[in-house]
Structure 1
Amino acid sequence: MTRFSQGSAALLLATAALGPAWAQPSQVQISGFLDLGIYRDFQGTAQLGTIQRSSISFSGAEDLGGGLQATFRLSHRLELDTGLGEGYGQKPFWHGESTVGLKGGWGQVRLGRALSALWAHDWKFDPWGHMNRVSSSAWYQWFYYVPTDRASNNGAPEFGRTPNGIFYDAPNLAGFTLHLSGSPERTQGPGGGKPYAASLEYAQGAAAAMLAFDRNGSGDRASFAAVKYRFGATTLMSSYDDSRRAQDQGRSRVLALGATHKLDGSVTLKAGLGHQRLNSNTHMFYSLGADYAVSRRTTLYAGLGQQRPENKSPSSSFGVGMSHAF
C-alpha cells in the first residue's frame, strides 16, 4: 500500500468514526414552479415562453436543539422554453435566493441574496401574484422608479432582490408580522448608499393588509399600502404605490384594484385595474383572466391585458399557458 493510499484509508476511518457525532437529523426539500405558454406580447409579437416565472429550489433545515434551527435556501430561475437561466447569463445563477440562516421562537434571520421586505410580500395583493407578463398590472407599473439595486445584475437593475443582505422575519403576534431587510455594504453606481426596507403585514380571518417602505442604495424610495378582504368565494384587493427616483428625477403613483372569484373547486376568475400617474402622464392597465386547476399542482390558465398610455394608442396582450408546482 502506498503512502497516499495509507493516508486516504486513515482519513476514511476517521471520518467514519466521527460521522455519527457530526451527522444530525435534517430536512432537505426540492421544490419548484414550472410555467410555459403561448402569448402575444404588447408589441404584437407571438411567442412561446414563460408567461409567469419558472424556478427550482433547494431548501432545508437542521434541528440544533432548544427550538433553534439552521436553514438554507437556493433558488434558480430559468426560462423553460430554452432551458437557459433567466436573463441569459446576465443574472446570477442563484437568482431567486441564496441564503443561510437561523430560526427560533424569536423569528428568523437569513444572510445572502433574497427578496427585500417589500418585494417578498407585495404579491399577495395582486390577483396574478405580481408574476404574469400578460395580465398583471403590478408587473409593469408597481415600484416603477425603485429597483432594489440599480446595477447588481452585471450592470443591469435588479427589481426585487437585495444582494449582500440581512433579512429578518418576526413571529406572528395577534395577526401582525414585521419583516426587515438591508445590507451593510454600499451599492455600486450613483448614490453609493446602503439599502434597507421594512414591511408590516396583518392577516386575520378574511382580512389582510400591508404597509411597506423600501429605499435602495441609490436613494430611490418606494412606499406601499394594500388591503384585501374575502367575501365567501370573492376576494377584493386594492393597493397604492408611490415610487420616487432620487434627486427628483421621476415619480410614479399607482392605484391598483383587483378581484378573484372561485366558481367552484376548479375555476378561478380574475380581474384587475391599474391607474398609474407617471410624472405628468396617466397610464391605464386593464386585465382579465381565468385559472382552471386540473389538479392540486397543475393549472391551465388564460389571460388578457391592455395598456392605455396617455396620448398613445392602446396595445393588448393575451395568452394561454400551463403551470406545475412541485
Structure 2
Amino acid sequence: MKKTLIALAVLGAAAGVAHAQSNVTIYGIVDTGFIKKSGHDVEMGENVNNRLGFRGVEDLGSGMKATFELEQRFKLNNGENNGGKGWTKSGDRDFAGLANVGLKGDNWGSVKLGRVNELTTETIRKFDPFYQYGVGSMMYGSQRVRGIDNTIRYDSPNWSGFKFGATYSLGDNMDSDSRSSHGNTLKKAGADNDGYGIMLGYDNGPLSLVGNWSRLADSKKSSVWNLGAAYRFGPAKVELLYQQTIDKGYALGDESAWKKVYTAANDIRENQWLLGLEWKLGPGRLNASAQWMEVQANGADISDKDIYKYAIGYTYDLSKRTAIYGNVAYTDYDDKEVAAVYGDTDDGTYGVQVGITHKF
C-alpha cells in the first residue's frame, strides 16, 4: 500500500513538473449573422472567420522554446469545413487555418515549419478598419490568400518597435519525375514556381508602418507588394495603405478568375488605395473606409477599369469577448465586365451585414 502511494506521489510530482514546463492553449472564435448582397437572397454567414485552435509552448531551457499551432476553420451556420483558397479542396484539410511546429528564442525570434499565415495578408490587414472581414472588407486582390502550405517562416524579435519577417514556400513537386498530374499541368503552364515573402514593420506609440513583398508558390511568378501607415490620436486611428498586384494568371495553382473575362490579356495589374478610420465611440467602435482600385489588363486592347468601394460599420461590445455588429458597403464598378472578375454581376453592388461574435 505504501509503495503504491509513493508511486502515485512520484507520478503526480512528475505530471506537475511537465505541466510547469509546457502548456497548451485552446482558443477560438464563433461568429455568425445575416448578410444581404445585391443579386442574392438573405443568407447566414460570418464576419470574423470562425476557428478552433490549439497553441502549445514547451520550455526547453536557455531561453529556447518549442512551439506548435493547429487551427481549424469552419462555417458556424452549417458546420462545414472552410479551407480557403488553394487548389486542394477545403474538405481535404483537417487544419485549414494553421498547422505548424517550430522553435522560438528570446534573442533571435522564431521559426515555424508547415502551414502558416502569409505575411503580406497578415500584416496589411491591420491597416483595414474591417481587418479584411465581412462586407466592409478592403477589396481582395487576385493574389490575396490567408494561409500558405509547405513553408518555413521566420519572425524577428521586437527591436524597439521594429520587426522583420520572411517566408519560403515549396511549389507543387518542382522538377520531379514523380510529379502529380496537377503538377504536370502547372509545369506546362510555367506556373510551378516556389514562393517567397518579406516584411518590415514598425509599431511604437501612435505610429504604425509596414511594407511587404510576396510571390505565392505555383502562381506563375505573380507578385504583390504593399505599404501601410496608421496614426493614433485620442480615440481615433487613421489608416492609409497602397497595394499593387501583378497577376500572371495563377494563384496557388488555380487559374485566376480574370482569365475567363479578359481572355486575350497576358496579365493584370491591380493598383489599390484605401483610407480608413477607426473611432472608439461609446462601448464600441465606428469603422469606415473609402477605396479605389485601378485594374489594368495588359496585352489586350482593354482600357483601364476603376472600382470604388465605401464602407461603414459599428461594433458594440457587450463584454471583452462578445460583440454585436452592423456593416454596410457599396461597390461601384466601371462596368459589368470588371465586376465579373471579382464575383459580382452588376456594375453597382451593395452589402448589408449584422451579427454577433464571441471569442474564447
TM-score by length of 1: 0.85
After TM superposition, the structure 1 stretch with the greater mean CA deviation from structure 2, 87-96 or 194-203, is: 87-96
Q: Give me the whole-angstrom Cα distance separating, in 1, the residues matched to 2:40 and 2:331.
A: 12
Amino acid in structure 2 at the alignment position of 1:255: W
Partner of 2:241: 239
Output the amino acid matched with 1:282.
D
Aligned to 1:276: 293
Residue 174 of structure 1: aligned partner: 160
1:118 shift after superposition: 1.2
Q: Which runs of 5+ in 2 are unaligned?
A: 1-10, 84-88, 174-182, 250-265, 297-303, 337-346
Distance in structure 1 (CA, Å) of the matches to 2:290 and 2:38: 17
1:35-71 residue CA offsets vs partner (Å, 9 max, x unmatched): 1001102333210122331001100100000000000
1:192 alignment partner, SS class: coil
1:100-179 to structure 2, matched below 5 A, reads: 100-104=101-105, 105-132=107-134, 134-136=135-137, 138=138, 141-142=139-140, 144-147=141-144, 159-179=145-165
2:267 to 249, 272, 276: 249
Q: What does residue 152 of structure 1 align with?
A: none
Give the match's secondary structure for 1:121. Answer: helix
- AA in 2 matched with 1:115: N
Counterpart among 15, 24, 31 of residue 35 in structure 1: 31
Give the residue type in structure 1 aligned to 2:69. Answer: R
Question: Separation in 1 of the partners of 2:335 and 2:82?
Answer: 34
Correspondent of 2:61 among 62, 65, 69: 65
Displacement after TM superposition at 1:23 (Å): 4.4
Distance 1:68 1:199 in 2: 24
Unaligned 5+ runs, structure 1: 1-15, 148-158
Stretches (4+) displaced over 6 A: none
Secondary structure of residue in 1 paired with 2:125: helix
Per the alignment, do residues 89 and 203 of structure 1 end up closer, same or farther by CA in structure 2, a change over 3 Å counting?
closer
Contact 2:171 2:192 in 1 (8 A): no
Alpha-carbon spacing, 1:221–1:89, altered in 2? closer, same or farther (3 Å): closer
Alignment of 1:24-103 (within 5 A): 25-87=21-83, 89-90=90-91, 92-103=93-104
Q: Partner of 2:215 in structure 1?
A: 215
1:320 aligns with 2:321: no
The separation in 2 between residues aligned to 1:196 and 1:79, in whole angstroms, is 30
Residue in 2 aligned with 1:10? none
State whether residues 40 and 47 of structure 1, in contact with CA within 8 Å, keep that contact through their aligned partners in structure 2. Answer: yes
Q: Distance in 2 between matches of 1:314 and 1:291?
A: 26
Q: Distance in 2 between matches of 1:314 and 1:65?
A: 59
Letter paired with 2:93: P
The answer (yes or no) to whether the contact 2:90–2:96 under 8 Å persists in 1 is: no
Structure 1 residue 186: Cα displacement: 4.6
Cα deviation for residue 117 of structure 1 reads: 1.8
Aligned residues with identical type, % of pairs? 27
State yes or no: 1:299 paired with 2:323. yes
Find the residue that maps to 2:122 and give its secondary structure: coil
Pick the structure with more helix per residue: 2
Secondary structure of 1:120 counterpart: helix
For structure 1, which segment, 51-60 or 35-44, has the greater mean C-alpha deviation from structure 2 after superposition? Answer: 35-44
2:267 aligned partner, one-letter code: Q
String of CA shifts for 1:192-232, please: whole Å, max 9, x gaps.
11101011111010100100001122201001001000111
Distance 1:120 1:258 in 2: 17
Alignment pair present for 1:203 and 2:208: no
Distance 2:211 2:118 in 1: 14
Structure 1 residues 166 and 127, CA gap change in structure 2 (3 angstroms):
same
Aligned equivalents of 1:180, 1:233: Cα separation in 2: 33
Shift of residue 120, structure 1, vs aligned partner: 2.0
Amino acid at match of 1:68: M
What displacement does 1:92 show? Answer: 1.6
Once the 2 structures are TM-superposed, how far is the Cα of residue 91 of structure 1 from its aligned partner?
A: 5.6
